[in-house]
Amino acid sequence: MRAPVVALVGRPNVGKSTLFNRVMGQRLAIVEDLPGTTRDRIAADVTWDDHVVTLVDTGGLEIHPNASLTQQVQEQVEAAIAEADVIVFVVDARDGVVTADQEVADVLRRSGKPVVLAANKADNPQRELQAVEFYAYGLGEPVPISAHHGTGIGDLFDRVLALAPAAPPPTAVDEEQAREAEEAVVDIAIVGRPNVGKSALMNAILGEERVIVSPLPGTTRDAIDTTFQWRDQPLVLIDTAGMRRRGRITGGIEYYSVLRSVRAIQRADVALLVLDATEGVTAQDTHVAGYIQDEAKGLVVVANKWDLVPQPDTEHFTRLVREHLKFIPNAPIVFTSATLGRGVEPVLAAAVAVYQERAKRVGTGTLNQILAEALAAHSPPSKKGRQLKIYYATQVAVHPPTFVFFVNDRELVHFSYQRYLENRLRAALGFVGTPVRMFFRSSHTRND
């Protein structure tokens, strides 16, 4: 049985994301003193008093949106309300009773969902007393809280848990099944520089407007996880904010957006590097690929907006990608048009295939046969009169595939010979789209 869903709802800039971060105990949502900072809805599980709930942060709810982006934010909030078991209506105790909140309260009453009224920013005794004004909304007793200072949160969640449907306690079998299910899930991060179509690709994959799509650069600011099934394979898609070059990252919202994108890559098994095919491969694209390489994650290159390329030539574009991403030589390249829904299935197929390559294990006998053939074809180099000797190799890990080579002196290993051995491994075993880690360990069990 799923955990109860608790949605934080309210007009812009009342402190929903601050409350979300306070309850989660970490800075998951971006907090900035600007209205409308949160746009997509963000969900995460949290345990409170031995009860697990799924907490959902949402964008500011405006009853009469007058811009297309604001309209999309409202649609996301309405979707969160529809999915919620309990709604926490967050208001600003400093503002008192306002018409905009009254309109939101009317919407929530019509939803028929249990609602807990949280009077946020009640950070002194006077504001706590003034919170009684919010009885006027007809949603019951308001709970005065200060998300910033952490006061009143326990009282708030006591009310939430009293209204939430109870989930049965997990059994040992349930926990084992949960572990197996988690191990089977492929985490896929959708990354790239701003405005290349990452959110459009995610919506095309899911077949719904799960995240907001706008022609404005920087629309997505948080990393958002969405779980779904594809050909009986459970996947988690992580949509992220656009990533700029390290030297061009400004402070505030953009800094935290990029930080979350990097963390999304760290959590992922495979990253989809989305390129704007009309612009080729830019320096920023190369830098984003560098983040993926640094974290040793699987990679699929997605050439998006292919329908807008005047004279599309897949072979030419492939050569262009290989030239710019020499440090990731064998990543699959998929050509898509996210807005038209073209090429979506091949993207997922490539991502799952790369995941499987990352999970590949090689028997020691097979591995050392490949090593022997490589040594016979190209002898190890010498340095200052001493020749490198490689005794044997073994695979010690997957995700990514990791190998240890036992040698007479690891100081004799030149990077060019290491690259040669890697190429021989790839030629024999594949490892398409994934880095291969190789470590050389000096062995004193044999004579030079």
Q: Point out the domain boundary residue: 112, 142, 163.
A: 163
- In this structure, are 154 and 227 located in the same domain? no
- In this structure, are 189 and 157 located in the same domain? no
How confident is the model over 226-256, as pLDDT tens digits? Answer: 777 888 888 888 867 545 444 444 444 344 4
Instruction: For residues 161 and 360, give the distance between their C-alpha atoms in angstroms, rounded to a whole number.
Output: 44
In this predicted structure, what is the pLDDT of residue 75? 58
Q: How many Cβ atoms sit within 10 Å of the Cβ of residue 135?
A: 13
- In this structure, are 182 and 151 located in the same domain? no
Determine, yes or no, domain membership for 207.
Answer: yes
- In this structure, are 268 and 349 located in the same domain? yes
Query: Confidence band (pLDDT; 50, 70, 90) for 116?
Result: very high
CB 198 within 8 A of CB 249: no
Determine, yes or no, domain membership for 447.
Answer: no
CATH of the domain at 401: 3.30.300.20
In this predicted structure, what is the pLDDT of residue 70? 47
- In this structure, are 39 and 137 located in the same domain? yes
At residue 366, the 3 state secondary structure works out as helix
Determine, yes or no, domain membership for 156.
Answer: yes
pLDDT over 90 percentage in the chain: 40
- In this structure, are 38 and 128 located in the same domain? yes
pTM score over 0.75: no
- In this structure, are 254 and 386 located in the same domain? no
- In this structure, are 329 and 425 located in the same domain? no
CATH of the domain at 245: 3.40.50.300
Q: Point out the domain boundary residue: 137, 163, 189.
A: 163
Nearest CA to 236 out of 191, 262, 278, 202 is that of: 202
Q: Please give the full DSSP string across 5-56, using - where no structure is assigned.
A: EEEEE-STTSSHHHHHHHHHTS--S---SSTT---S-EEEEEEETTEEEEEE
The structure tokens listed for 250 are 């400004």
pLDDT over 70 percentage in the chain: 77
Beta-carbon contacts of residue 289 (< 8 Å; ≥ 6 apart): 273, 299, 325, 327, 328
- In this structure, are 83 and 137 located in the same domain? yes
Over residues 285-294, mean pLDDT: 88
- Residue 208 phi/psi, 5-degree rounding, is -155, 165
How confident is the model over 128-173, as pLDDT tens digits? Answer: 888 889 998 888 999 999 988 889 988 998 899 889 887 655 555 5
In this predicted structure, what is the pLDDT of residue 435? 93
Q: What CA–CA distances, in Å, run from 256 to 5, 239, 241, 259? A: 26, 15, 10, 5
In this predicted structure, what is the pLDDT of residue 387? 92
**Is the per-residue pLDDT at 39 higher than 50?**
no
In this predicted structure, what is the pLDDT of residue 20? 87
Question: Which residues span the domain enclosing 314?
Answer: 172-357
Instruction: For residues 19 and 55, give the distance between their C-alpha atoms in angstroms, rounded to a whole number.
Output: 10
Determine, yes or no, domain membership for 196.
Answer: yes
Query: Confidence band (pLDDT; 50, 70, 90) for 323?
Result: very high
Determine, yes or no, domain membership for 18.
Answer: yes
First-to-last alpha carbon distance for the chain, in angstroms, is 62
Q: Parallel, antiparallel, or unpaired: how do β-strands 186-191 and 270-276 relate? A: parallel
Over residues 387-396, mean pLDDT: 94
Q: How many Cβ atoms sit within 10 Å of the Cβ of residue 112?
A: 7
- In this structure, are 346 and 371 located in the same domain? no
In what order do the strands lie in the sheet containing 437-442?
390-397, 402-407, 437-442
Query: Could you give the angle at the alpha carbon of 54 between the alpha carbons of 53 and 57, nearest 5°?
Result: 130
In this predicted structure, what is the pLDDT of residue 12? 80
Q: Structural domain tally of the chain?
A: 3
- In this structure, are 423 and 407 located in the same domain? yes
Determine, yes or no, domain membership for 56.
Answer: yes
Q: Point out the domain boundary residue: 301, 328, 357.
A: 357
In this predicted structure, what is the pLDDT of residue 213? 39
- In this structure, are 214 and 143 located in the same domain? no
Determine, yes or no, domain membership for 133.
Answer: yes
Query: Confidence band (pLDDT; 50, 70, 90) for 215?
Result: very low
